[in-house]
A and B are shown apart, each in its own frame.
Chain A
Amino acid sequence: MAGTISPYKTNRRSAPAGSGSAGRGAGGRERSGLGQKVRRNLSAHGFLFGALVCFGFFTWYPMVREVVMSFQKTKRGRTTWVGFDNLRRIFDDPDFWHAWRNTFLFTLLALVLGFALPFFVAVLLNELRHAKAYLRILVYLPVMMPPVAAVLLFKYFYNPDYGLFNDILRTLHLPTSAWLNSPDTAMVSVVIAATWMNMGGATLIYLAALQGIPGELYEAADLDGAGLLRKLWHVTIPQTRLILSLLLLLQIVATMQVFVEPFLLTGGNGPQNSTMTVVYLVYEYAFDLGGNNYGVASALGLVMLVVLAGFSALYSRLSRNSDND
């Protein structure tokens, strides 16, 4: 049995010669090998055990419970199995489809704005000759701001009566907007705020990727007479493709789980539920409806998990295909 356990190979190799010979020399490799290996790597196993316990308790156990609870209901302190009742309830809830539509809209808008803008800013920063470090800090600054503070700031900017944005529009003699106060503009307003709050991080990652592109490639392109756009298209984008596609996937998965910005900016629902997202709906079921709706909340979480997992699988399939092309 012990012979089949091989992850200790590396450790054994790095251990001082002879240190392991006693156990093996006793001829009890089968019997005493494992115990000794564990003893020899006690601290490593300690860490491993701690990590496993933490992951198990705080990550895996809740996930398993979520699946179990999706099929349960608590009434008068008693938990009963209800089969697919919870799933049926969320599919019957008109807010479910509404929330998915909003979530996809947010994801789409967040990608159009939040994916392209940081890339554009990173390219600009990369091209700068002066004040580079200073501007980099400026771009990253909003990320360091606590979300609640940033949201309060934007709430003030968006105020239709005395907010900064409408003041600017009035000064320019342009029509003002209701921003967060209209179902037509609420979601866009949330995306703008979210983009401002979060783009610094993505910008820095793009910047790092851009700076990894060998200068010779641009020199060669220059010699070939390529302009700015052609260099961008033929050098910059292909060279940063890996990072771009990785960030795209992460952003899709993350933006679909958006919660904080709409929750703080519009109380979650927004005018006529226009900013209600799926994760907010989970929150609402679990905590906001004054009932014991954990089962329903879990079922919705499960649906979300399935959709995101399916999406990730599809994405990795597509990107593998395109890599093979």
Chain B
Amino acid sequence: MKTNGLLHRSAVAVVVAGLAFSAAACSSSGGGSSSGDNGKASDAAAPLDPATKVTITADCQPPTTKPAERKQWDDDIAAFNKIYPNVTIKATDGSPCEEPAKFTAQLAGKTQPDLFYAYFTDTNQILDAGGAQDISAYVNEKTVPALKDIDPSVLSTLKDADGKLYGLPVTNYKMGLIYNRKLFKQAGLDPDKPPTTWAEIREDAKKIAALGNGVNGYGDYSATNQGGWHFTAELYGLGGKMLSDDGKKVAFNSAEGKQVLQNLYDMRWTDNTMGATQGLKWPDLMTQTSTDKLGMYVGAPDDITYMVQTLKGNYEDYGMGPMPGGKSALLGGDGRFFKKGSTPDQIKAGVAWVNFKYLTMGKGQFDYSRNKTDGLPVGIPQPSFFGGASLAADNTAKAASATVPVQNYAPYVSTPVPGKTEPANAQQLYKVLDAAVSAVLTDKNADIAKLLTDAESQANQVLSSLQ
């Protein structure tokens, strides 16, 4: 077969692209300007002077294919410029905001914008690449008034080991159980009372799978590191830990870890409620749920938005319950980081913009009445990084303009499960665990104890090589 012009070219393209980017990175490494570090450090804590003329680049402008979000962005820039007429934000659009491979290449090539999008889990990678500026001095209750209400566990994901802050949170999520209310009703289950333990999930999954016609009771990911991600979420739910207290060894080879794999194995092979198609990755579970082929899966609230807006499902059909097990729920999200070498004025302008657009009640993303007018969902339980007065104000405002059936998420919202952030070096660990999750879902003879022991030694090896 001529396999292979194509294979060859693609492979070479990938390798060459990687090398070219990284080559660019290396040649400029160490050259990262640190002018922003010193600059006017004395007045870093003061908010941006409205008369300052400054330009920043930013990513994640909503694309024109999302007209409502795009219009809101433009309106917000205009409103922001009324306060800071001399700040120019040069934005590039993108959806998704971060493509991991491109993002890695950008970091290596130091071509990320001044204000850039990143997942919470990217923090270590960004710091290792020397890609972000310490903004601790710039962030205080004057520049970000809601700072005291932001969940400390969220802020900690944007800090380094010494407690220096490198970014501001923009949205976040806490995982729970997403389920198809339509299938619940068809299977004779109460859609307002989702299962909260794995034993209950197994029972309900059997009833849903009994509907036949290719309907599965429960689904889970097992590819592209998402198997490991969900393993972690389910481990947290049962009270397990991914890492030892000193962070040097993994701790998932535990009773809870075994329980996670055993649940999956039982549903796949004993109950036959998971279907034969495995190796699923984002957004396969959403696709199955929105076509009424899947009863339940572990996910984050914005999955519901995706199922409605992109996959054309109905809000009425989906509900959300707390994370099974209920001990703790994996917490993730994204923030904006500031490129290393940004000037103090650029950082101040960036902080002011993020505060205006993403962290002020009633403005930007929290302008619920505008979202309602523009046909965007209001009432999805996300973001949830505020506590205190901000949370109360947020809940009141959300309820007043809700466009989605808020009561469908009542079991999730009213069950307080503490959030727990992803482990350090998450992607490396997830990759190792993908293999274990994929094994229990594709191999009837899978030996769970051995899978976990193998994964443990492999993950410890990876961790030690990263020290």
Contact = CB atoms under 8 A, between A and B. Distances in A.
A79 B29 contact: yes
Contacts of A94: 454, 458
Contact of A272 (B3, B125, B442): B442
Interface string A277-291: 001001110111111
Given A180-B279, A260-B6, A287-B100, A195 B1 contact: yes
Given A77-B130, A269-B435, A257 B12 contact: yes
A194 B4 CA distance: 9
Contact of B25 (A74, A95, A181): A74
A271 B278 contact: yes
B128 A291 contact: yes
A115 interface: yes
Contact of B19 (A65, A147, A197, A259): A65
Contacts of B104: 286-287, 290
B22 A65 contact: yes
Given A72-B26, A77-B29, A272-B435, A260 B18 contact: no
Of the four ranges (under 10, 10 to 19, 20 to 34, 35 or more), the interface on chain B belongs to 35 or more
Contacts of B121: 290
Specify the main secondary structure of chain B where it touches its partner.
helix
Which one of B6, B32, B428, B434 has the highest number of Cβ atoms from chain A below 10 Å of its Cβ?
B6
Contact of B11 (A66, A162, A258, A270): A258
Interface string B164-185: 0000000000000000000000
B274 to A, nearest CB: 11
A92 B465 contact: yes
B279 A288 contact: no
Contacts of A273: 435, 438
Contacts of A93: 458, 461-462
A254 interface: yes
B231 to A, nearest CB: 14
Contacts of B107: 292
Specify the main secondary structure of chain A where it touches its partner.
helix
B161 to A, nearest CB: 11
A289 B430 CA distance: 9
Contacts of A154: none
Interface in A268-313: 268-273, 279, 282-284, 286-292, 294, 297-298, 301
Nearest to A200: B2
Interface in A18-66: 58-59, 61-63, 65-66
B276 A160 contact: yes
A103 to B, nearest CB: 11
Given A62-B16, A183-B443, A287-B101, A261 B1 contact: no
B3 A110 contact: yes
B18 A286 contact: yes
A143 B2 contact: yes
Interface of B: 1-8, 10-12, 14-16, 18-20, 22-23, 25-26, 29-30, 32, 100-101, 104-105, 107-108, 121-122, 124-125, 127-131, 214, 222-225, 275-279, 281, 340, 425-428, 431, 434-435, 438-439, 441-443, 454, 458, 461-462, 465-466
Given A194-B1, A284-B431, A287-B104, 6 more contacts: A183-B443, A269-B434, A270-B438, A288-B101, A292-B125, A301-B19
